[in-house]
Structure 1
Amino acid sequence: MISQILTAIGAMIFGVAVCAAYFLFSNKLLDLIFPAKEGDDVHRAAVNLRRRSLIRPWLFLGPALFLLAVYLMYPVVATLILSFYGPDGNQFVGGANYVWAFNDTEFRQSIFNNILWLAVVPAACTFFGLVIAVMTDRIWWGNIAKAVIFMPMAISFVGASVIWKFIYEYRGGNDTQIGLLNAVVQLFGGTPAVWITIPFWNNFFLMVMLIWIQTGFAMVILSAALRGIPEETIEAAVIDGANGWQIFWKIMVPQVWGTIATVWTTITILVLKVFDIVLTMTNGQWNTMVLANLMFNWLFRGGGDSGRSAVIALVIMVAVTPIMIWNIRRANAETKGR
């Protein structure tokens, strides 16, 4: 344990030292290549100063762009190429993997489940986060409530799945129900059930977990946005006779709409990549399979099929990309408007 800590500290020190040496050496080299010393030709010095100012930012951006190219662009291109090859990645099969994907029942079921998650989870998280942010904003114990609601964010998806497994737990026969949901159902005279095996509805039981985790994130971001609303706006609405519902929908929501969109798109991107919850709770059984789990199954199980898994990975990437582009453009537009 101590050796691992020392290794990590040493790696950090070495990394910082290398970065510092790179920036010092590269800037010194740039100054030597394009000198602008006192006494030099004025025109030449001015040209060299302009060249320095154009090149210097790229000295700082260069390493990051290089790493992005190596660890982001290269895998995308490699995955695209791999999608045209067979299971072992050696035999070229053309578009056969794409034909398989759109004719495969399990792939279509995964697409449907992902759409279902997209329709429910981001909207529910954003709505509950906004409502909780408004409700807890003006009460003395609001910060305590926010801390409790935000707490699930500190739990990993696998850890949350273990917690919710106990909530959905089912005991057959005459055994006492230890699952919280079945215990409550039994208390009110209902019949306990294996909830996560009920097709279609089991997807919603899994979604509840992600909503439970991500509502705290939405609440924190939206709470900060609500605090930026001028008090005069709300006071004027109260004087004009607006009730709480009208103030919420017609005063607060329009003024934090940009933040609502940001929260919604951020959670949407997360939902498109949902994996841990489905794997831990159902392993994709009972019609709960989503694209990320299907990709995992084709790549690592049953001997593996790199071609088909690459197609599924590209579908996920294509689905995420427009949302990311829209989010970045909207953020840039807001920045320019300030």
Structure 2
Amino acid sequence: MSFDAVAQQPKLLYLLQGVAAFAAVVSLIVLALHRGPVRRRAAALILLAPALLLLTTGLLLPALRTLALSFTDSGGDTWVGLDNYVWMVTDHQARVALRNTLVWVVVVPLTSTAVGLVYAAAVARSPFRTFALSPVLTPMAISFVGAGVVWKFVYAYRPAEAGQIGLLNQLVVAFGGEPRQWLVDSPWNVLFLMVAMVWTQAGFAAVLLAGAIRAVPAELAEAARLDGASPGQILRRITVPSIRPTLLVVLLAQAIGTLKVFDIVRTMTGGQFDTGVLAHEMYDQTFRYGETGRGAALAVLLFLLVTPFVAHQVRARRRTG
């Protein structure tokens, strides 16, 4: 037997043990439900018990541990009170990360949703809508890391005397301009990073909004057109009010994803040149600088920023449900 085969045996054993434990839990649940009459609440509790156990061990306990670490020093042993939270509002790098995150969460959801809305309105009732949606859907199949690599090549810079490999600088040079380091100049470099995320997320907005637009009765738009309304007026006064619930869901989903952005920043700039965001700063403080307490405090702040969006989305779904 080869060394690799021997090395893989413990992993296979752990996998088999996990499958056996899962099968045993499921069997016990089924047995408990079929032993006799079980009240509805008791049955629901029995069925939910494994999921609640996993949520507790995989989400709740780590969240409480992170909260406790946010009040400790870099080693996680000494209590420092609110020092890490004071550091967040006094340190320049942390303030830049917070500022950039807030800019991201305003600009990216609004831009990607606006682009998706205009595109969806243009193709929603077209007989070729499936084909027309393909170009904006394709970037969704690319990971954020892949999108970052693609756009890093688009913004690539070389001196004027050298041949340009970046598409944007190649266009600038072709029209007689000087190549620029697009990802270095602050604060414009933050906007150039956002383009990569808008490129990947506009398709998500377009697909959902196209479905919502198709559900709007065509007679409304036709009546407005007969009354002399322009396409822009029809979009603003009829289409948008009719699809407001879907529009809100898209905006909230985009905002939640944008608050957690990490991959694009890490791939394109590594958080340099004042492009850091909270998620990337949390990573740097925890794993690069060894400041566990500061990283935990940033994680708590990120959780607090995401919570209102998630709560609003849950309430909206309950109302529509």
Partner of 2:179: 192
AA matched with 1:307? G
1:62 aligns with 2:49: yes
The CA deviation string for residues 228-249 of structure 1, in whole angstroms up to 9 with x for no partner, is 1122322332333333222111
Partner of 1:332: 318
**1:140 Cα deviation from its structure 2 partner:** 3.9
In structure 2, C-alpha distance between the alignment counterparts of 1:279 and 1:30, rounded to whole Å: 49
In structure 1, C-alpha distance between the alignment counterparts of 2:287 and 2:31, rounded to whole Å: 49
AA matched with 1:61? L
Moved more, 132-141 or 17-26: 17-26
Secondary structure of the 2:39 match is: helix
1:290 aligns with 2:302: no
**1:24 Cα deviation from its structure 2 partner:** 4.4
Which one of 218, 223, 231 corresponds to residue 236 of structure 1? 223
Secondary structure of the 1:234 match is: helix
The CA deviation string for residues 254-298 of structure 1, in whole angstroms up to 9 with x for no partner, is 111111111111110111111111111111111101111111111
Where do residues 248-327 of structure 1 align in structure 2 (5 Å cutoff)? 248-302=235-289, 304-327=290-313
Q: 8 Å contact 2:153–2:165 — kept in the other structure?
A: yes
In structure 2, C-alpha distance between the alignment counterparts of 1:12 and 1:186, rounded to whole Å: 61
Q: 1:333 to 1:179 in 2, by over 3 A?
A: same
Moved more, 221-230 or 232-241: 232-241
Partner of 2:189: 202
Q: 1:136 to 1:127 in 2, by over 3 A?
A: same
- Structure 1: where are the runs of 5+ without partners? 36-48
AA matched with 1:162? V
1:29 aligns with 2:32: yes
Partner of 2:204: 217
Partner of 1:153: 140
Q: 1:13 to 1:131 in 2, by over 3 A?
A: farther
Q: 8 Å contact 2:158–2:165 — kept in the other structure?
A: yes
The CA deviation string for residues 18-56 of structure 1, in whole angstroms up to 9 with x for no partner, is 656534432433454xx4xxxxxxxxxxxxx5x522211
**1:138 Cα deviation from its structure 2 partner:** 3.0
Q: 1:86 to 1:263 in 2, by over 3 A?
A: same
Q: What is the alpha-carbon root mean square deviation over aligned residues? A: 2.3
Q: 8 Å contact 2:76–2:293 — kept in the other structure?
A: yes
**1:316 Cα deviation from its structure 2 partner:** 0.5
Q: 8 Å contact 1:171–1:178 — kept in the other structure?
A: yes
TM-score relative to the length of structure 2: 0.91
In structure 2, C-alpha distance between the alignment counterparts of 1:326 and 1:124, rounded to whole Å: 21
In structure 2, C-alpha distance between the alignment counterparts of 1:13 and 1:260, rounded to whole Å: 46
Q: 8 Å contact 2:29–2:47 — kept in the other structure?
A: no
Q: 8 Å contact 1:222–1:260 — kept in the other structure?
A: yes
Where do residues 23-172 of structure 1 align in structure 2 (5 Å cutoff)? 23-32=26-35, 35=36, 49=37, 52-172=39-159
AA matched with 1:165? K
- Structure 2: where are the runs of 5+ without partners? none
Runs of 4+ in 1 over 4 A off after TM superposition: 10-15, 17-21
Moved more, 240-249 or 254-263: 240-249
Query: What's the % identity of the aligned pairs?
Result: 41
Higher RCO structure (Cα 8 Å, ≥6 apart): 2
Moved more, 324-333 or 23-32: 23-32
Q: 1:133 to 1:75 in 2, by over 3 A?
A: same
In structure 2, C-alpha distance between the alignment counterparts of 1:76 and 1:300, rounded to whole Å: 18
Q: Which has the larger radius of gyration?
A: 1
Q: 1:13 to 1:245 in 2, by over 3 A?
A: farther
TM-score relative to the length of structure 1: 0.87
AA matched with 2:78? Q
Q: Report how many aligned residue pairs link the two structures.
A: 313
AA matched with 1:29? A
